[in-house]
Amino acid sequence: MKAKFIKGCAMASLFAVSPVFAADYVIDTEGSHASIEFKTGHLGTSWLKGRFNTFEGTFSYDSDNPAAATVNVEIDVSSIDSNHAERDKHLRGEKYLNTDDFGTASFKSTSFTPNENGGVMKGMLTLYGTTKEISIDVVKVGEGMDPWGGYRAGFSGTTAIKPKDFGMTYNLGPAAETVYLELDIEGIRK
């Protein structure tokens, strides 16, 4: 009886379909192949643009099952860089980002819905001590082997947030009520 059971288990394992697992990637921030950039209106006449220079994260992606994609990113908010040192000092201050109290922002995905252009990534953004759900429109840039024997995948994303939704109350005028984020990530498969 025991031999039949073992033989049956062995036969079942031969016909079992092994599950496909998403590949895990580390975002390549060392090679300048990833960026988190922003822009917001300035006095209704131009754009104030900048970026966050320091962040890290991971994502999982399987091209056969893109709906299972996930991403986690942590941002050093004090690394804000608008190409103007005095302005950056103000942006880090209490009136704006208050990086002494809220030095880290994070994004943790909750779902990904593929579409013909790429998909929509939903997740929880924590900024200024407040967590809100946001949606990011994502486009797959590509994936493949790199010249050093590794494997990479890259994506771009855009979203818009309103700082007041996260508790920032300093009024910069109607032109600056929305901040537009442009995200580019290239990951190296673990």
**Each residue's pLDDT tens digit, 90-138:** 999 998 999 999 999 999 999 999 998 899 999 999 999 999 999 999 9
Question: Residue 95 corresponds to which tokens in the numbers above?
Answer: 């009136």
State the pLDDT at residue 176.
Answer: 86
**Is residue 6 scored above 60 in pLDDT?**
no
> Whose CA is closest to 181, among 117, 105, 114?
105
Question: Quick check: 186 and 152 in contact, CB under 8 A?
Answer: yes
CA angle in degrees (0–180, nearest 5) for 171-177-180? 135
State the pLDDT at residue 21.
Answer: 59
State the pLDDT at residue 175.
Answer: 81
Q: Is this model's pTM higher than 0.95 or not?
A: no
Residue spans per domain, the chain: 20-189
Q: How far apart are CA 21 and CA 189, in angstroms?
A: 13
What is the H or E stretch that residue 182 is in?
A: strand 179-189
Q: How far apart are CA 110 and CA 152, in angstroms?
A: 23
CATH hierarchy code of domain 20-189: 2.40.128.110
Kindly report, residue by residue over 15-42, the tens digit of the pLDDT. Answer: 333 344 579 999 999 878 999 999 999 9
